Chains A and B, each alone.
Chain A
Amino acid sequence: MMINKGRLQWQCRRALLELDLVFKRFLERDFDRLDDGQLVALEELLRLEDHDLWAIVNGSKPSRNAREGAIVALLRAP
Chain B
Amino acid sequence: MSVVKRTFDAVIVGAGGAGLRAALQLSEAGMKTAVLTKVFPTRSHTVAAQGGVAASLGNSTEDNWHWHMYDTVKGSDWLGDQDAIEFMCRKANEVVVELEHYGMPFDRTDNGKIYQRPFGGHSQNYGQTPVSRSCAAADRTGHAMLHALYQRNVRANTQFFVEWMALDLIRDSEGNVLGVTALEMETGEICIFHCKATIFATGGAGRIYHSSTNAFINTGDGVGMAARAGIPLEDMEFWQFHPTGVAGAGVLITEGVRGEGGILRNGSGERFMERYAPNLKDLASRDVVSRAMTTEINEGRGCGPDKDYVLLDITHLAPETIMKRLPGIHEIAMQFAGVDPIKEPIPVVPTCHYQMGGIPTNYKGQVVVPKDGNPNAPVAGFYAAGECACASVHGANRLGTNSLLDLLVFGKSAGETVVEDFNSGNLSLRPLPSDAADVSLARLARLESQTGGESVFDVGLEMRRTMQKHAGVFRFDALLKEGVARIKEVAERAKTTEIKDKSKVWNTARIEALELDNLIEVARATIVSAEARKESRGAHVRDDAPDTAEFPNGRNDAEWLKHTLWYSEGDRLDYKPVNLKPMNEDTKPIGLAKRTY
Contacts and interface: CB of A to CB of B under 8 A. Distances in A.
A in complex with B: yes
B215 A17 contact: yes
**Most B CB atoms within 10 A — which of A5, A16, A76?**
A16
Instruction: Name the prevailing secondary structure of the A interface residues.
Output: helix
Given A7-B186, A10-B185, A17-B48, A49 B506 contact: no
Contacts of A51: 47, 140, 143
A16 B508 CA distance: 18
Interface string B213-231: 1111100000000000000
Contacts of A58: 328, 331, 335
B48 A15 contact: yes
A31 B42 CA distance: 24
B250 A50 contact: no
Contact of B214 (A4, A11, A13, A17): A17
Nearest to A75: B335
Interface residues on A, range: 20 to 34
A6 interface: yes
B294 interface: no
B143 A7 contact: no
B518 to A, nearest CB: 15
A49 B335 contact: no
Contacts of B43: 13-15, 50
A61 B507 CA distance: 33
A49 B143 contact: yes
Contacts of B454: none
Contacts of B530: none
A20 interface: yes
Contacts of A49: 42, 143
B323 interface: no
A18 interface: yes
B506 A13 contact: no
Interface string B503-516: 10111100100000
Nearest to B186: A7
B45 A15 contact: yes
Nearest to A7: B506
Given A6-B505, A51-B143, A15 B331 contact: no
B353 to A, nearest CB: 11
B242 interface: no
A10 B250 contact: no
Contacts of A14: 39, 43, 215
Contact of B249 (A21, A59, A60): A21
Given A7-B506, A49-B143, A78-B338, A13 B47 contact: no
B143 A10 contact: no
Nearest to A9: B508
Contact of B250 (A9, A13, A17, A76): A17
A71 to B, nearest CB: 16
Given A15-B39, A18-B251, A10 B163 contact: yes
B469 interface: no
B38 interface: yes
A60 to B, nearest CB: 8
Contacts of A9: 506, 508
B511 A10 contact: yes
B47 A18 contact: no
A22 interface: yes
**Most B CB atoms within 10 A — which of A49, A59, A76, A78?**
A49
Nearest to B248: A21
Nearest to A5: B506
B336 interface: yes
Contacts of B163: 7, 10
B332 interface: yes
Nearest to A16: B48
Interface in A1-35: 4-7, 9-11, 13-22, 24
B44 interface: yes
Contacts of A20: 215-216
Nearest to A50: B47
A55 to B, nearest CB: 11
Given A14-B43, A50-B143, A6 B506 contact: yes
Interface string B11-52: 000000000000000000000000000110011111110000
A17 B209 CA distance: 14
Nearest to A58: B331
Nearest to B217: A13
A13 B216 contact: yes
Nearest to B213: A17
Interface string B321-337: 00000011001101110
A75 B456 CA distance: 25
Contacts of B335: 18, 21-22, 58, 76, 78
Given A10-B163, A20-B215, A58-B335, A15 B47 contact: yes
Given A4-B506, A18-B336, A78-B334, 19 more contacts: A6-B503, A6-B507, A7-B186, A9-B508, A10-B185, A10-B506, A13-B38, A14-B43, A15-B217, A17-B48, A17-B212, A17-B214, A17-B215, A19-B215, A20-B216, A21-B335, A49-B143, A50-B43, A58-B328
Q: Which 6 A-B pairs have the closest CB atoms?
A: A6-B506, A15-B47, A20-B216, A15-B43, A58-B331, A17-B215
15 contacts: A6-B503, A6-B505, A6-B508, A10-B511, A14-B39, A15-B39, A17-B212, A18-B335, A21-B335, A49-B143, A50-B47, A50-B143, A51-B47, A60-B331, A78-B334
